[in-house]
Amino acid sequence: MVEMLPFWLVETLQLLAYAFIFVVGAGVLLVLAMYLADIGQTRDAIRRNYPVVGRFRDLFTSLGEFFRQYFFAMDREEMPFNRAERNWIYDTAKGHDNTVAFGSTKNIMLPGSVIFANCAFPTLDDDAARTKPLQIGPYAAHPYIAPSIFNISAMSYGALSTPAVRALSRGAKLAGCWLNTGEGGLSPHHLSGGADIVFQIGTAKYGVRDEDGNLSDDKLREMAALDQIRMFEVKLSQGAKPGKGGILPGAKVTDEIAAIRGIRAGEDSISPNRHPEIDNVGELLDFIDRVRRVTGKPTGFKSVIGAYGWLDTLCVEIHRRGIESAPDFITIDGGDGGTGAAPMPLMDNVGLTLRESLPMVADILHRHGLRDRVRVIASGKLVTPADVAWALCTGADFVNSARGFMFSLGCIQALKCNKNTCPTGITTHNQRLQKGLNPQDKAVKVANYCKNLVHEVEVIAHSCGVGEPRALRRYHVRVVQANGKSVPMDELYPVPAIG
């Protein structure tokens, strides 16, 4: 029978048989090697008790995020951002129609849900309110007239890849919003798109430090000489890790990033947990005054709120020194995490959420008569028009978003930001993975997301009967309580009297 087959077919079958035997043999040897390795190790009890099979536990654990995201979780179930929120951002960034049919899938009866109180007789002359620019830093030599209520929050070059930063810079320019550098210093990629820049001064003072790691006036002047840099932000703490400095794993510290930051390549970049020069509110005001005088540009600070008595002390000290000594803005970050690598106990359990801290800070400033002097910037998981409108109702002048703009770049919430393996090229310096992120294409999506979100906020404001989004007040939004009924926010958080 075999003799009747063509010679080439016999040869092929023999090769396939040899290959099969080789693969099976190699597989048996591999399983045997794993078996011996597992029963001989003492680090993992599961693998020791169940050799080879126990290895599947780690595999299935790592794949759990994937299967939950794509197969098992409902549209409104996932954390930190659910599928409905992500898909809204994806569609908006692509410029697609983002209308929905057949009713909302959001459970608005959950305690804490917000419902905006629409006006019975909205104006006829337009279908949306119109955002007006707002000045920041009236006592700085070069105040900033900020055009957008929605801006790109702090994400360092290093934590983000080169094409991601370039896309954000160009997208911010197209949208007319600002781009915050994060604490990693200023890179050429931040400047490449021509966007307005907020330079963040972290506790390690990357980009504005001398050889000993201290704040350098010369470096500050060098940064301030760049017209694109419009403001300086002193970072006290951030939502991902309140009370701990920034963390950039050594795998991400390339030669270029090391040169920008003034550190050694390949080593973990860990910032101090606070500025050594700032140990009380007086020293904070001194530091802000120094940066503002040297640069001539508006200067404020960013902080997660936990303890809050120091804010009253700060306001009293401002009045003692004079209102011009006040920070030009305060960026309030939520304590429930962010884009940075962080210890889980800090990300999960330290710092107030923005839902609690934003009205608190706005009220403290109002009570001390500083609400019009100090601009309030809200930052922390605000990625949809309802989130932003809620923040404006509560007391914010501006909203910053990091993860919202990451989604506009194509982030799939793979939860690999602290690794060098981001599959979309956003938070990795692996050039093979970066190839999937085209800065020109993504810049358009960044701009679309920003402009369309602002427009939707303007639609909400118009529905509530106001002509400008910042005219939204707490009585325009109701908060659902445990009994299922909603209460006007101004009853939950009444605005205090001045004095």
pLDDT tens-digit readout, 59-97: 666 665 556 555 555 555 565 666 677 777 878 888 877
Higher pLDDT pick, 99 / 321: 321
Q: Residue 56 pLDDT more than 60?
A: yes
**Interacting residues of 233 by C-beta distance below 8 A, sequence separation 6+:** 154, 180, 198, 199, 200, 201, 299, 300, 301, 302, 329, 331
Q: What is the per-residue pLDDT for 66?
A: 57
State the CB neighbour count (10 A cutoff) for residue 166.
Answer: 25
Q: Which of 39-48, 85-94, 149-158, 455-464 has the lowest mean pLDDT?
A: 39-48
User: What local confidence, expressed as pLDDT, does residue 345 receive?
Assistant: 61
Task: State the DSSP code for 199.
Answer: E
Instruction: Name the amino acid, one letter, at 289.
Output: D
Query: Any idea which of 265-269, 341-345, 434-438, 472-476 has the lowest mean pLDDT?
Result: 341-345
Please report the pLDDT score of residue 47 as a whole number.
77
Has residue 404 got a pLDDT over 70?
yes
Bridge partners, residue 331, by sequence: 302, 377
Question: What confidence score (pLDDT) does residue 365 get?
Answer: 97
- Tens-place pLDDT, residues 423-478: 888 888 888 888 878 899 899 999 999 999 999 999 999 999 999 999 999 999 99
Average pLDDT, the chain: 86
Residue 334: pLDDT band by 50, 70, 90 thresholds? confident
Q: Exposed, middle or buried, 103 (CB in 10 Å: 0-12/13-18/19+)?
A: exposed
Judged by average pLDDT, the poorest of 79-88, 289-298, 377-386, 409-418 is 79-88
Q: Are 51 and 38 in contact (CB under 8 A)?
A: yes
pLDDT-derived band at 372, boundaries 50, 70, 90: very high
Nearest residue to 453 via CA among 130, 132, 55, 89: 89
Higher per-residue pLDDT: 294 or 248 = 294
At 243 the pLDDT is 61
Question: pLDDT category, 229, cuts 50, 70, 90?
Answer: very high
The answer to whether the CB of 173 falls within 8 A of the CB of 194 is yes
Two structure tokens written together for 345: 């106990």
- Gap between the Cα atoms of 367 and 361, Å rounded: 10
pLDDT at 55 over 60: yes
pLDDT of residue 312: 96
Q: What is the mean pLDDT of residues 196-200?
A: 98
pLDDT of residue 22: 83
Q: How large is the average pLDDT for residues 236-256?
A: 72
What pLDDT, on a 0 to 100 scale, did the predictor assign at position 346? Answer: 62
pLDDT at 137 over 90: yes
Q: Are 408 and 93 in contact (CB under 8 A)?
A: yes
Report residue 110 CA to chain centroid gap.
25
- Which of 167-176, 192-201, 236-245 is the least confident region? 236-245
Q: Are the C-beta atoms of 312 and 368 separated by less than 8 Å?
A: yes
DSSP codes, 307-326: S-HHHHHHHHHHHHH-GGGS
Exposure string for 447-482, b = 16+ CB within 10 A, e = fewer: bbbbbbbbebbbbbbbbbbbebbbebbbebbbbbee
Residue 348, pLDDT > 70, answer no
**98 three-class SS:** coil
Query: In this prediction, what percent of the chain has a pLDDT beyond 90?
Result: 50
Q: Which two tokens stand for residue 348?
A: 């999960």
Question: What is the C-alpha separation between 50 and 423, in angstroms, rounded?
Answer: 32
Number of Cβ within a 10 Å radius of residue 90? 18
Paired tokens of 76:
């409104």
Instruction: Decide: 395 and 363 in contact? Cβ < 8 Å.
Output: yes
| Residue-level pLDDT at 102 | 62
3-state secondary structure of 389: helix
Report for 12-26, 106-120, 351-365: range of highest mean pLDDT = 351-365
Residue 98, number of CB atoms within 10 A of its CB: 16
CA distance 382 to 376: 15
**Token output for 264:** 């050694």
pLDDT of residue 327: 98
* Residues 384 and 104: beta-carbon distance below 8 Å: no
Give the span between the Cα atoms of 412 and 70, in whole angstroms. 11
Q: What is the pLDDT of residue 13?
A: 77
- pLDDT on residue 106: 72
DSSP summary character for residue 403: H
- What crossing angle do the helices spanning 354-367 and 385-394 adopt, rounded to 10°? 30
Q: Which of 226, 232, 378, 202 is nearest to 300 (CA)?
A: 232
Peptide bond into 385 cis (omega under 30): no
Q: Above 80 in pLDDT, residue 57?
A: no
